[in-house]
Amino acid sequence: MIARQVEDFIPRLDYILPELKKIKLYDQENLNSLRGTTETFPGLRSFPLIETNIFLYEYINFLMFYNKLIKPEDVSFITHFIHLRREEDNEKDFIHQDFFNFSSLIYLSKTNLNSGTYLYDKEKNIVNDFKFVKNRLIMYSSEYFHMGYGHHGTDIDNGRLTLNSFITLK
């Protein structure tokens, strides 16, 4: 799989989104200090959903399995977290790779066609441009370099809010 895109991924997102927005977000320094990690990211990120809201963690897993994005028996590790990027985070973003088999994003906030996610080849040429459409899931091989762009807003109600997932297969 190079990449997949699923529209209207979370049924009744209007009921789920307020619960996602209740999850506490941290900047990179505080998250790494609290978790004992060395993650690098722009914006604000939550602890993994398995630690903050097990129901939402299992619900997202169910939707991924139901939509046949992955098979439960093939998964060795899966994590989901909330990520907020605001306009001030545009200068802090960077092209990078994730070290899993697959990465995915669910765009949660209002559609913004000036925002999205670029996928790059090994020479860092853009090979795909996913536009930020509310409730769109994108999933791609973590071998691809990628970067979010068009971060916007100032807070959780008007910024670029995503649910990010990393998946490792057996």
CA distance 56 to 53: 6
CB 103 within 8 A of CB 138: no
Q: Answer whether residue 2 shows pLDDT above 80.
A: no
Structure token pair of residue 162: 């995503």
Give residue 92's pLDDT: 87
Provide the domain count of the chain.
1
Look up the domain containing 50 and give its range: 3-169
User: What's the pLDDT tens digit per position in 9-35?
Assistant: 999 999 999 999 999 999 999 999 999
- CATH code for the domain of 23: 2.60.120.620
**φ and ψ at 31, to 5 degrees?**
-65, -45
